[in-house]
Each structure stands twice: as C-alpha cells, then as structure tokens.
Amino acid sequence: MAVGHETIYSERPQRLIFEQTSLFLDLDGTLAPLTQRPEGVGPDAARNGRLRRLAERLDGRLAVVSGRGIDDLDRILEGSVEALAGIHGLQRRHGGKVALAAAHDNLDAVVRALHAFSERMPGTQVELKPLSAALHYRGAPQAEAEARLFGDALSARTGLKQQHGSMVIEFLTPGSDKGEAIHAFMLEPPFAGTIPVFAGDDLTDEDGFRAVTRLGGFGILVGPPRPTCAAFRLDGEAAVHAWLDQALSLNVFVLEAPVEPSYRRI
C-alpha cells in the first residue's frame, strides 16, 4: 500500500458482500460501552441477537477479538459468537478448539506488585485474567503518570509485555497481539480466502488494523479521529450497531467514512 493520500485504495468507499467478507470485532468501546469496571458490561439481548444473525449470515466468519478472557466473553456474549480471541490473542477458540499460550513465570510476581500499587492508589483496580493482569485507573485518572512509571519498571523487571489501553495498563506474556489472532483465523476455513474487516477503538486494536490491511482488508476505527492504521471510521458503539443493522438489511457491508489522510500512519 502506498504512503500518502493519492493512491490509497482503501480510502474509496467500499461495498463488501457477505460471501466475500470475514468480520472481526472488538468488544469494549466497539460493541459495548466503556465502563468504570470490566464487570460493568453484561449480556445484552439486542446486541447478542444481532451478533448471532451476523454469524449465521457470514457462515461463521465472525470473531470477537478482545482483551477480555474467553470465559468473560462467553458470559457477555452468551454464546452468540463461537470464534473468539481473548487476552489480545493469547487465547483463541475456533471450531470448538481452544488454543492457549502458557502463563509467564513472573505473572504471580506482577500480580503481587499490582495489588501493592493499587492499595497505595485508591480508585485503581487490579483485574486478573488467566494469562495476564491489568491495572485500571479509570477510577483514579490522577494516578496515570505514576502508574505509567510503575508499569515501565515492572515490565523491565519481570519481562512481561506492557500494553497501554484506555485508562488501563495490561501486563501479558510477550508474543501475541490482536493482529496475530486475526492472522491465525484467516489461515483457517471458513475465514481463509475472504476479505477481513476489523473494527476496534483502542490503541491495542492498531495491531489488528495493520493485520487486516496486510491481508487485503480494512480497519475501522471506532471513536474520534486519531493517528491510526484504520482506513475507515465510525463514531462510536451506537454507530457500530447501526452499521451492522444496515449490513444485515442490505446484505452488504458499506464502508464509506474514510479516515482523514492526516490521521493515517500507513
């Protein structure tokens, strides 16, 4: 793909029929509103019904790619989506098979350090996942600078990778990201040979945008403009659901809001 704004193919409006499309969706901030606490997101009948219909119409080429663990995704999605990538790709389920990365040897030490930090910083919250741990500071935004310094030191000391998201720092085993998870799905039927589209809101979703672009597809940034590898943009979670409803009624995914060239990194 060429650099600059004169020859970028993906800036043109695109219409992708269901038969040629694989759809990858982030959850928090994309399909569900961002909440103060991760457990604040629960099942939603309208959302899950929509996802179930989409998965059927796409013959299974729908996957949710999230930072949450697969068990948590099942709690929220109530089985509406079978293909899941959890913890930024460290967990992946498809066709009833679950692939799991091994937990890092230093994960326990990281968890202890996060709890100690959180006790000193009221309003912060530690979230434990099977293969990672996260420090949320949405409830204590004044702690951000200190949390970042603490994260740098902890990552250097333990070897776990830091991933910065929206008011959260996650510590996870190096070696996987949302892009690798999407790439792995795209090697397998029924995804293989189709055009991947990935919608996400967070910085960690940029890995996914890069992956789908490399595979001939399109990233959709959800939320306000920012430097991004996505080619298109939707305003927020409500716009995502309206876009999915439009696709279900037209039998085609319409991509028509290109990201401004000045916001593009590729």
Binding site for Mg ion (CB under 5 A): 26, 28-29, 201-202
Q: Under a CB-based contact definition with an 8 Å cutoff, are residues 201 and 29 in contact?
A: yes
CB of 82 to Mg ion, least distance (A): 20
CB of 185 to Mg ion, least distance (A): 18
Closest residue to Mg ion, based on beta-carbon distance: 29
For Mg ion, the closer CB: 18 or 233: 233
For Mg ion, the closer CB: 201 or 207: 201
Alpha helices in the chain (DSSP H): 45-57, 70-77, 107-120, 144-158, 178-186, 206-214, 237-250
For Mg ion, the closer CB: 38 or 217: 38
Q: Is the dihedral of CA 55, 53, 71, 160 positive or negative?
A: positive
For Mg ion, the closer CB: 87 or 121: 87
CB of 159 to Mg ion, least distance (A): 26
Distance from chain centroid for Cα 221: 11
In angstroms, the Cα distances linking 114 to 129, 147, 227 are 13, 10, 30
Is residue 135 classed exposed, middle or buried when 0-12, 13-18 and 19+ CB atoms within 10 A define those classes?
buried
CB of 29 to Mg ion, least distance (A): 4
Q: Is 207 annotated as catalytic?
A: no
Q: What amino acid positions are annotated as catalytic residues?
A: 26
